[in-house]
Structure formats: C-alpha cells, structure tokens
Amino acid sequence: MDIREKYSKYILGTYAPAVFFEKGEGSYLWDDNGKKYLDFASGISVCNIGHSHPKVAKAIADQAQKLLHVSNLYMTENAPLLAEKISKAGFNGKVFFCNSGAEANEGLIKFARKWGSDKSRHEIICMNDSFHGRTLAALAATGRAKYREGFGPDLEGFVHVDYGDLEAVRNAISDKTAAVMLEPVLGEGGVRPAAVEFIQGVRQLCDEAGILMMCDEVQTGIGRTGKMFAHQHFGIEPDAMSLAKALGNGMPIGALMLQCKHEGILVPGTHATTFGGTPLACAAGLAVFEAYDEENVLENCQKQGQKAFEFLKALGEKYDFVSEVRGLGLMIGIDVEIPTGDVLKKAFDKGLILLTAGEKTIRLLPTLNLSDTELQEGLEIIEKTFEELNNV
Ligand SMILES: Cc1ncc(COP(=O)(O)O)c(C=O)c1O
C-alpha cells in the first residue's frame, strides 16, 4: 500500500489533500516527485519565517534532549521567557499558553464570560464573515453560518454584525454585552483590513459602555501584517488578544494575553490545559522572536508587502476579472470574478502555492523573510497565470 492509499484508509476524511509534500526549506517546498514549489501560503500563516527555519529547528532539537513536558503544576524556564517577549512586543499584559487558535479563542470567550459573570453580562458581539476556529464556542463566534451547519444547537450568547459597521456595533451593545471580538484584518473571510475609524470606534464604544474589546490575532499576529500584532496599526490596545499559528513557526502553540488590570479574572482553577506552555513549544516560540530580531523580519515584511501590493494593484488594473486588491503587510487578497480554483490550479502547476479566502479572494501569505528574488518569482507566476486565464 503506498502512502496515498494509507492516507485514505486511515485518516478521517475531513480534508481532501491532493499533493504529498516531503521537504521544506525557507520559502520552498518539495513534493514526492521532487518538484519544487514557492510557498505563498506558509502553512496558512504558520511558517512565517520559512520552513525548517534553522534556529527554530535547533531550539526544538536542543530542548527535546533536555525536557519536553512536566505539566503546569511546576515552573519551567521557557514559558515565562516567551511570555515576556509577547508582553513586551505587545501591550505588557499577562499570557496564558495553549495549543491552537481555536483554543486561544475559547480562552478569550471564557475570560469575557467570567469577567461579565458578576455583572450579568455574557454576550459577545462578533463580526459577520469572521473565523475564530472549529471548537463549539469558537464556531459560535464565527460569522459564517455554513461552518456551524449540522453542529447545532449553537452555543448561546453570540451576536453578529457586519464587519466595519460601527453603527451596527453601537446598536448591538446592550446591558447583556460583555465584549466585542474581532479580527483586525478578516482572514478566512476575504483578507479585509479594517478601517482605522472602525477599530478606533469599536475601542471607544467599548470604553463608553464599560465592556471588553478582544482581538483575534491568530492569523494576523506575529508580524503577518508588518507589525508584531495587527491592532498596533490602529493605535489602540485591546483588553485581550489571542495568538497561535506563527508563534511556533510550525510547532503547535497558542496563547492569549490579557491586560494586567484583568489578571484577577482567571485565577487558579478557572482555566487550564495540559500541554499549555511546554518547554518544547516555548523553545520554538523563543527562537521565533530571536529570529525576528536578527533578520529584521518586520521591516522585510513591510518592504516586500508594499512591493507586492503595488505590483498586484497594477496587474489588477490590466485584467477585468480582478475586481480588487487589498492587504496589510504580507497578508494580501485579490478578488477575482473567475473561479478561484482555476487560479490556484494554474499557479500550482507553475510551482506557486496560493490560498483562497471567502468566496472570491485569492489569498497570499508568503514567508515574511522572503528575498527580492523569491517575491519577484512569485509575482511573475501570478502575472503569467492571469495572462493565461485572460486568454481562455
Ligand atoms: C483568525 C483565526 N482565528 C482562529 C483560527 C483557528 O485556529 P486553529 O486552526 O489553530 O484552531 C484561525 C485559523 O485559520 C484564524 O484564521
């Protein structure tokens, strides 16, 4: 039985992958036939500093020889060191480590409910088209009903409004509201950066109503948009944020950070997870932060993001089927009026991996430390792909 047969025989069919990857290095992947691909998906914004980053790989290997796990009944070195990095790069808050984006968002939701429990406030206002993960509370927060189909009844206590509609947020706030929760840039929902007025307006509304503002930075966090956390583009601080994906550059790790003023809400016994903040996962996270400093990753992301955006904007103007190009840093969306699958397939055949988002958006999430040559290579493949699709 070859590996594909074993995959379909033994792996539950929740995914439908067609390609088998064997190796990754930097911005490139190789399939089992030895074909090389430029990866503009980065494992869906996980391997932000490239596949098998040497620093991360070494940190994992060294830590694996020393100590893997002891549980949170005991202190270990790497968790507080990584929490310090996150705290100092962000709003100087306090960190809880977990394992995934959905779990980090569950933590945010529990935090908001616990905060509101003595005020009879439990509702969370979320955004239409948002995505917060596949666990039941994260699904209830997610603003795309199709993900919830068949998994009802929905968890109670979530209200949805249109992303960007400040009046709708204002009208949705009631004496039951505990928090507003949003992605600073809608990721799965179509790569839609929020307007500054919207994010600042939500912050103000939350302050006026005395409720929490929470940012899901699972996809946008750890530099994807050119700042360590996307809310930093908007000159505000949330009460809490969730992280995961790129925090371990491939090592599974999630986190949430609360403002210090809220540290009394989640006290011993209220929230926990066996694998949260293991020495191994946090060793990877620490290596990520060191690599960002050493390689000027945020600056590169801003520079390459700007170049990519300008190139794609100009390209979009050439083709009628491109209706919009949007982005922040190296999180870029191209809306097309042709099937997104056709674009992905053609680019893939030429050795470029792209993603979709929403119904009609091509999503680019390249590595943040990619070189001029790598960026140029990817953009030229997109250009060629569009040219060919225009001629069919
Ligand atoms: C904004 C956002 N939140 C949460 C999640 C869920 O993260 P995970 O798949 O690690 O549970 C995702 C995943 O794509 C995401 O993009």
Domain assignments of the chain as residue spans, ordered by start: 3-53+296-390, 54-294
Give pLDDT, residue 391.
Answer: 87
Task: Output the residue whose Cα is nearest ligand 1's atom 10.
Answer: 101
Active-site annotation holder among 91, 96, 111, 131 = 131
Is the peptide bond preceding residue 279 cis, with omega within 30 degrees of 0? no
Give the tens place of pLDDT for each residue, 102-129: 999 999 999 999 999 999 999 999 999 9
Residues lower than pLDDT 50 in the chain = none
DSSP E strands, 269-315: none
129 close to ligand 1 (CB < 6 Angstrom):
no
Separation of CA 389 from chain center: 30
| Residue 294, amino acid | E
Cα–ligand 1 centroid distance for 32 (angstroms):
28
Give pLDDT, residue 74.
Answer: 97
The helix (H) or strand (E) run that includes residue 10 is helix 3-10
Give the tens place of pLDDT for each residue, 278-316: 999 999 999 999 999 999 999 999 999 999 999 999 999
Output the CATH code of domain 3-53+296-390. 3.90.1150.10
**Domain over 54-294 is classified CATH 3.40.640.10:** yes
> Six-digit token pair at 45?
């914004």
Q: Which of 322, 326, 349 is nearest to 192 (CA)?
A: 326
Give the tens place of pLDDT for each residue, 256-271: 999 999 999 999 999 9
| β-bridge mates for residue 246, sequence order | none
- Give the mutation target among 216, 231, 245 for probing the ligand 1 site: most ligand atoms within 8 A of CB: 245
217 close to ligand 1 (CB < 6 Angstrom):
no
Ligand 1 atom with the shortest distance to the CA of 130: 1
- The neighbour count for residue 55, using CB atoms within 10 Å, is 17
Q: Is residue 56 a contact partner of residue 44, using CB atoms and an 8 Å limit?
A: no
Give pLDDT, residue 392.
Answer: 81
